[in-house]
Amino acid sequence: MIRQDLTPSELGFAPADLSFIGNPYPVYERLRSIGPILYDQQTDHWLVPRYADVNALLRDRRFGRTYHHLASDSEMGRPDTPESLAPFWHLIRNGILDMEPPDHTRVRKLVSKAFTPRMVEGLRERIQAIVDRLIDGIAGAGEFDLISSLAEPLPVEVIAEMLGVPSSDRHLLRPWSAEICLMYELNPSEEYAGRAVNASVEFSDYLRMLSRERRADPQEDLISALAQVVEEGQRLTEDELIGTCVLLLNAGHEASVNVTGNGWWALFRNPDQLRLLRHDPSLVPAAIEELMRYDTPLQMFERWVLEDSEVCGVPIRKGSELGLLFGSSNHDPAVFRDPDRLDVTRVDNPHLSFGAGIHFCLRAPLARRELEVSFSTLLRRIPTLNRVAEPEWKAAYIIRGLRGLRVSA
Ligand code: HEM
């Protein structure tokens, strides 16, 4: 019996602690059993651990990804943004993930329209070709790191190709993205903040130059399509174009890398499930959904409380922050039978890993396609793939994944 007066920290919620990061699920079980909402003093977040509440709050416009469309920092009772972080925040606030309606509605519609069916269709074959090329490079290697040789390069290549970033510049993208994503963690250090600011400046300058080139000389790619929209009028600003491209490049791969790494690691620890997949590759699409549920790649997303509200029966003040626990929701027994069991044949699987509501992942179909191709091709081409050693987790809770995953072919 868990004492009802314990705080999240006392229950083991410790997002800076590697042992919690390695396996947060037993702690989530305790949080869910205590109640629908718990204040965590350490992070100054109201944590929401149950599926039904997270699903409802993601769709409730009293809570936003940002509050800057309504109020200043001081009006929300928050400290001003330090001047030194201005380049980072300017970039982030110009991407759709950190917008709320009406700007979000306008920019999301324009970006969705710019992904032409031809562009998406052309990607199917390209994804298979990229996966084949990457696996050619490792198939005879004996032992290799699955993260650096496949999980990381695949989504970068795909999104870079879709946007139209020249091959010769693609090596720049992953370091920029990784540095910017450090800021998505809770309480990033000053050193991380400085690195994220530098990356924001360099990445923005690069995309500004590229989009101007494409405006003058359009190609069959997403940057040209978006640059055309900027050219035609005031419906999309150049800063919004840059913010959204950076978001696509970052969102487009950090989560996918973690689904591949965490997913294979889960399969290695559940050899009966891996055997099932090897025998019946038609299970791959269901398996991808299950791997995304079982070890959720993005553990928590935040929402600002935009007006004084009652949340799960508790009055919460405007300017507070909610921590919606996706990993916990995806293990809620009220929705998932036997939630701590990996079951690649699970059919009823409404996991929240792609979010819900107006910010639902814009490119979930692309992410699914990429993962299906990479898992099925690896299963087929390297049927003896196995782990070599226990991997280490990165010291990151929100975008949670492995440092590396040594495997043998
Ligand atoms: C398995 C991989 C992926 C996962 C788990 C994932 C997850 C998510 C989640 C949870 C959100 C919503 C965040 C919130 O509500 O606060 C989101 C939004 C978004 N994702 Fe993904 N994503 C993945 C892959 C991708 C890819 C490949 C792209 C683009 C190439 C992408 C582009 C976006 C964009 C642009 C948004 C913002 C949508 C909006 O604010 O309207 N994602 N994603």
For residue 353, report the distance from its CA to the centre of ligand 1, in Å.
Answer: 9
**18-408: what CATH class?**
mainly alpha
Measured between alpha carbons, how far is 366 from 345 in angstroms, rounded to an integer? 22
Task: Collect all residues with Cβ–Cβ distance below 8 Å to 9 and sequence separation of at least 6.
Answer: 40, 41, 42
Mean pLDDT of the 335-356 span = 97
Compare 268 and 110 and report the one with higher pLDDT.
Answer: 268
Contact between residue 89 and residue 53 where contact means Cβ atoms under 8 Å apart: no
Indicate if the pLDDT at residue 1 is higher than 70.
no
User: For residue 2, what pLDDT is reported?
Assistant: 72
User: For residue 187, what pLDDT is reported?
Assistant: 79
User: For residue 234, what pLDDT is reported?
Assistant: 59
Task: Identify which of 103, 361, 366, 399 to mutate to test ligand 1's pocket (most ligand atoms within 8 A of the CB).
Answer: 361
Indicate if the pLDDT at residue 363 is higher than 90.
no
Task: Verify whether ligand 1 is closer than 6 Å to residue 255 (CB atom).
Answer: yes
User: For residue 405, what pLDDT is reported?
Assistant: 97
Residue nearest to atom 19 of ligand 1 (CA): 361
pTM as predicted: 0.95
Residue nearest to atom 41 of ligand 1 (CA): 359
Mean pLDDT of the 172-183 span = 88
Residue (of 283, 304, 313, 242) closest to 375 by Cα position: 283
Token duo for residue 368: 């699914």
Task: Verify whether ligand 1 is closer than 6 Å to residue 154 (CB atom).
Answer: no
Residue nearest to atom 30 of ligand 1 (CA): 252
Lowest mean pLDDT among 97-111, 180-194, 280-294, 365-379: 180-194
Per-residue pLDDT tens over the stretch 187-225: 788 899 999 999 999 999 999 999 999 989 999 899 998
Q: Which atom of ligand 1 is nearest to the CA of 65?
A: 16
For residue 117, report the distance from its CA to the centre of ligand 1, in Å.
Answer: 19
Mean pLDDT of the 36-44 span = 95
Task: Verify whether ligand 1 is closer than 6 Å to residue 261 (CB atom).
Answer: no
Residue (of 257, 229, 42, 66) closest to 149 by Cα position: 257
Residue nearest to atom 7 of ligand 1 (CA): 354
Task: Verify whether ligand 1 is closer than 6 Å to residue 256 (CB atom).
Answer: yes
Percent of the chain with pLDDT over 90: 78
Mean pLDDT of the 368-393 span = 95
Instruction: Give catalytic residue positions.
Output: 251, 254, 256, 361, 370
User: For residue 86, what pLDDT is reported?
Assistant: 92
Distance of CA 125 to the CA centre of its chain: 24
Measured between alpha carbons, how far is 322 from 328 in angstroms, rounded to an integer? 14
Mean pLDDT of the 110-136 span = 86
Indicate if the pLDDT at residue 120 is higher than 90.
no
Task: Verify whether ligand 1 is closer than 6 Å to residue 287 (CB atom).
Answer: no
Task: Verify whether ligand 1 is closer than 6 Å to residue 322 (CB atom).
Answer: no
Task: Verify whether ligand 1 is closer than 6 Å to residue 361 (CB atom).
Answer: yes
User: For residue 250, what pLDDT is reported?
Assistant: 84
User: For residue 395, what pLDDT is reported?
Assistant: 92
Contact between residue 220 and residue 123 where contact means Cβ atoms under 8 Å apart: no
Alpha helices (runs of H) in 23-72, residue ranges in sequence order: 25-34, 51-58
Lowest mean pLDDT among 163-177, 205-219, 225-239, 379-393: 225-239
Indicate if the pLDDT at residue 236 is higher than 90.
no
Indicate if the pLDDT at residue 131 is higher than 90.
yes
User: For residue 228, what pLDDT is reported?
Assistant: 85
Distance of CA 153 to the CA centre of its chain: 16
C-beta neighbour count of 192 within 10 angstroms: 15
For the chain, the distance separating the N- and C-terminal CA atoms, rounded to the nearest angstrom, is: 46
Mean pLDDT of the 6-21 span = 95
Domain residue spans of the chain: 18-408
b/e per residue 254-281 (b: at least 16 CB within 10 A): bbbbbbbbbbbbbbbebeebbebbeeee
Task: Verify whether ligand 1 is closer than 6 Å to residue 65 (CB atom).
Answer: yes
Residue nearest to atom 34 of ligand 1 (CA): 362
Task: Collect all residues with Cβ–Cβ distance below 8 Å to 312 and sequence separation of at least 6.
Answer: 35, 36, 37, 48, 53
Q: Which atom of ligand 1 is nearest to the CA of 97?
A: 40
- DSSP label of 115: S
Lowest mean pLDDT among 140-149, 250-259, 264-273: 250-259
User: For residue 124, what pLDDT is reported?
Assistant: 82
Mean pLDDT of the 119-141 span = 87
Percent of the chain with pLDDT over 70: 99
